[in-house]
Amino acid sequence: MFSFFRRKPATDTMSLTEQSVLDSIKQFADPNTGKDYVASRWVKNLRISGADVSFDIELGYPAKSQVDGIRQALIAQVRSVPGVGNVSANVFSKIVAHAVQQGAKLLPGVKNIIAVASGKGGVGKSTTSVNLALALAAEGARVGILDADIYGPSQPQMLGIGGLQPESADGKSMEPLEAHGLQVMSIGFLVDVETPMVWRGPMATQALNQLLKETNWHDLDYLVIDMPPGTGDIQLTLSQSVPVTGAVIVTTPQDIALLDARKGIKMFEKVGVPILGIVENMAVYCCPNCGHTEHIFGADGGKNMAAELGVDYLGALPLTLQIRQQADSGRPTVISDPDSEIAGIYRTVARQVAVKIAAKAKDYSTKFPSIRISKDT
């Protein structure tokens, strides 16, 4: 009696190649950049062992709140490839230094500097700065904030550390204070809160350069600088001497504020600092009692200006009592009410800023050896 055994068909693992896996990953677009990870060169360590596939995705921006969702989506995508068995995906962020304006050198311990500026005061620049910094930190980045608004330093109060002073171990440099996971430095730590700063331009500029360069920043992915308002000598000197990766312009929809915001944009463009985008504060007021909305300072002024100048519109914040109260209490919105709609807007702004920085050219200045000429050679 003869028994016939049907040969088991060859599995699809024979056709499983690195290219077929990469082609599958290409079908998934990053939720923030809109680009696939293969084109972005963020796919690392792809390995195939039989039917098992493993790979890393190295994001160029912080995305702690999105990592798990991205990982699950990629695993499902690669599992759809015929012949694939187990899939292991490791998604993480790696923030690197990016190019700054010509002639400026990177600061020790700081990879990227974000200047937050406004053409005039009173538009919510400092509130935007601190919430931007906190939102980047919440996504897993190492972040510092420098309060360069020398005539009205407000970050010590906004972060709940007013009255404290930085320490110096060697009498030449200072250790930044810490608050809510941020490294913080401000002229407000060094002068009495009620003492007016009657400094002329050169003195103020020198003081700010000292604060920036004599602070021992510790391995920061981003340093957010709360710039002085306006476009005068101090602002121009800082934008030329500080190695800025990009600038965020804060305005309100009001015509007068927009005029000054344009000047701020032009100033940064003249010194070669790219504009990361515009944030529009006090865009709309919503009555907490009846829900009626009113555009007190005008509607879509910042959005229209961004479109006209070819600059990204990062988002709009409403005029609310909540933002002011939380900042005054030393616990800004991103910390005090992280699940609120307003905190979500700040996180969206921060993510867009980080993504735009990740798309910039990397800085390779530290890769080249320094050349010294000596009389003895």
Q: What is the model's pLDDT at position 375?
A: 54
Beta bridge partners of 294: 285
Three-state secondary-structure class, residue 275 = strand
Asked whether the beta carbons of 204 and 197 are under 8 A apart, the reply is: yes
CA-to-CA distance for 308 and 320, rounded, in angstroms? 28
**What are 178's strand-pairing partners?**
183
Residues 6+ apart with CB under 8 A from 236: 267, 271
Determine the pLDDT at residue 342. 94
- Domain 15-93 CATH class label: alpha beta
Which CATH superfamily hosts domain 110-358?
A: P-loop containing nucleotide triphosphate hydrolases (3.40.50.300)
Alpha-carbon span 249 to 76, nearest angstrom? 40
- Provide the H-helix boundaries in 192-254: 201-213, 233-241
Which residue(s) pair with 91 in the sheet? 57
Residue type (1 letter), 89: A
Predicted TM-score (pTM) of this structure: 0.88
Domain segments of the chain as ranges = 15-93, 110-358
Mean pLDDT of each 10-residue bin along the chain, 377 residues long: 40 71 94 93 94 95 94 95 93 92 84 92 92 96 92 90 87 91 91 68 78 92 92 78 91 90 90 93 87 86 91 94 93 95 95 94 56 49
Predicted confidence at residue 370, as pLDDT, reads 45
SS3 314: strand
**CA–CA separation, 33 vs 358, rounded Å?**
10
Cα dihedral value 223, 229, 232, 238, nearest 10: -10
